[in-house]
A and B are shown apart, each in its own frame.
Chain A
Amino acid sequence: MAVSPHIVNPNPSIPILQVSELSAVFSNGQQGLQALDRVTFSVYTEEFICVLGPSGSGKSTLLRILAGLLPLTTGELFYCGQPLTGPQGDIGVVFQKSNLMPWRTVLENITLPLELRRVPRAEALRQAQEMVELVGLTGFETTLPRDLSGGMAQRVAIARALIHDPRVLLLDEPFGSLDALTRERMGSELLRIWQHRRKTVIMVTHSISEALFLADRVLVLSRRPGQLRLDLPVDLPRPRQEQMRYTPAFGELARQLRSTIEDATEIL
């Protein structure tokens, strides 16, 4: 894998990402639009975090700030103990839309991060082929994005985000455009990749059961301005099985999340 010239986390007991009192205000006209309001949480190495919240609660904004793509307005953000001021290169992002380059084939889209790091082409192609197999797209290497289904395009985007072996993976509703069954399968695949590759994952989703199935912790944001309403540990055993969705423990956590989200969505 490519060597990233970036900060190494010297001590796994300090958070890989630390967010404290983070607010984000967009300058819209005269009075700004506040998207996030004093959000505080920490993420530790190899944790799987899901973020839930009503539409417009600032989930995408939070992810863009964590990716270093958007400056925060007030508060602090640390990556491996150091202030995060811009894109890191070892934080992979999967955007809400699959966001592929339509003029590149599946394989060429996946090699992009390596190409940007000037990895020799043969080596890049070899690694990309490995990723193609990992996300189950064998046989579609030379397909153009316009001929892919939504689920396949999202898998290409995930492969692209993984190929340069980033330590943190940020996913913004990656399965938002998929039907329920494909979605569950993709979730299981993501879990497999996460366990196999030991990543830290922060994923935005709309689905309570998806969040509980995947995450170590679930964060719930309120409606605008997004405040952190709940930071819920999910102490369900791993590896997680499909049947788990029907256990009382799962049901109890789901109930708790649902009521928090309903409160968070309520218009006062």
Chain B
Amino acid sequence: MDMTGSKHKNNYPSHPSRIRIGGFWWIVFSLAAGLVLWELIIWLANPPVFLLPPPGLVGRRFWEVASNGILLRHIFYTLIEILAGMALGVSAASAIGYLLAKSPTVERLLSPYVVASQAIPIVAIAPLLVIWFGPGLISKILICALIVFFPVLINTIVGLRGVPEDLHDLMRSLLATPQQTFWLLEVPAALPVFLGGLRVGATLAVIGAVVGEFVGADRGLGFLVNLARGQYDTALVFVAILTLVILALSMYGIVALLERRLLAWQQRKEQDILQQ
């Protein structure tokens, strides 16, 4: 209740604790160990190639599709779906989240839909979207947008609700305009939680794109997985999956980088923990 204790501590939510990635050489070592294990399994069990292709074959297949431009075309297509879907989902979610957080009337009006939308398994309505919007880009973009929408919406609301009332009072006592309050208080104060939602959304968007392409598409990495499976080209399935992993990691990495840039003011806490 009283504010004793000599250190002024801010009570802003920090990054949710994440799994910690070791140094560069540890990553190399751990991946190399994985490859050795993979080779070992091939050597001991000698499974048919369509069940588990050896790493060398996957590497060669990767080189083939990478050098003739096929892989790049599929990556490009999937990336467009993800980025456009995220742009749509994030802008809708943050705008609606802002209205929900600021207006009790809007909240009462929309909350049943918000809660219901959380219960809809996006994966299950993907076929519906493909029926409605065709097997082209639009249906994939919508699936990505929908899957990104919810975590970003919730984090926008939680972030805005967490803005300290005292700081709102301060802005009011200084006669700040609503725009000033938005840009100078609400945006920076809600940003840590908002970016947390974006980080989750970025990886979900990859899933959304793949699911959309599974249901119906003629391009994209999800389509490539399906195509290769149909041809028993398991090495190519591996290539597509690995590419998707790299894509998802890069999305995650970009948001993490964004967090590091924008949230430098709360970074040191993490470093403190790492040094202990």
Contacts and interface: CB of A to CB of B under 8 A. Distances in A.
Given A146-B9, A150-B7, A153-B8, A99 B184 contact: no
Interface SS of chain A:
loop
A102 B170 contact: no
A68 B174 CA distance: 11
B188 A177 contact: no
Contacts of B7: 149-150
B265 A96 contact: no
A96 B8 CA distance: 12
B8 A93 contact: no
A102 B173 contact: no
Interface string A153-186: 1000000000010000000000011110000000
A132 B5 CA distance: 24
A64 B165 CA distance: 13
- How many chain A residues sit at the interface, stated as a range, is 35 or more
B105 interface: no
B222 to A, nearest CB: 40
B8 A148 contact: yes
Contact of A95 (B170, B171, B268): B170
B3 A177 contact: yes
Nearest to A144: B265
Contacts of A176: 2-4
B55 to A, nearest CB: 47
B182 interface: no
A69 B169 contact: yes
Given A87-B172, A99-B164, A150 B2 contact: no
A225 B121 CA distance: 54
Interface string A87-121: 11101110111111111100000001101100000
A243 to B, nearest CB: 28
A101 B3 contact: no
A113 B176 CA distance: 9
Given A112-B184, A176-B2, A149 B8 contact: yes
Given A96-B3, A112-B184, A89 B169 contact: no
Interface in B133-187: 164, 166-167, 169-176, 180, 184-185
A115 B184 contact: yes
Contacts of A68: 173
Interface in B219-270: 263, 265-266, 268-269
Contact of B167 (A67, A101, A116): A101
B230 to A, nearest CB: 52
Contacts of B166: 95, 97, 99
Contacts of A92: 173
Contacts of A64: 169
B188 A101 contact: yes
Contacts of A146: 8-10, 265-266, 268-269
Interface string A106-148: 0000001101100000000000000000000000000011101
A101 B176 CA distance: 15
A233 B142 CA distance: 71
Contact of A113 (B12, B174, B268, B269): B174
A15 interface: no
Contacts of B174: 87, 89, 112-113, 116, 164
**5 closest residue pairs by CB, A with B:** A153-B8, A102-B10, A103-B265, A89-B175, A177-B3
27 contacts: A68-B173, A69-B169, A69-B172, A87-B172, A88-B175, A89-B173, A93-B170, A95-B169, A95-B170, A97-B3, A98-B8, A99-B164, A101-B167, A101-B188, A102-B265, A103-B188, A112-B184, A116-B180, A145-B10, A146-B9, A146-B265, A148-B8, A149-B7, A150-B8, A176-B2, A177-B3, A177-B8
Interface of A: 64, 67-69, 87-89, 91-93, 95-104, 112-113, 115-116, 144-146, 148-153, 164, 176-179
Given A87-B173, A177-B8, 13 more contacts: A67-B169, A87-B175, A101-B167, A101-B185, A103-B189, A103-B263, A103-B266, A112-B184, A116-B174, A146-B9, A149-B7, A150-B8, A164-B174
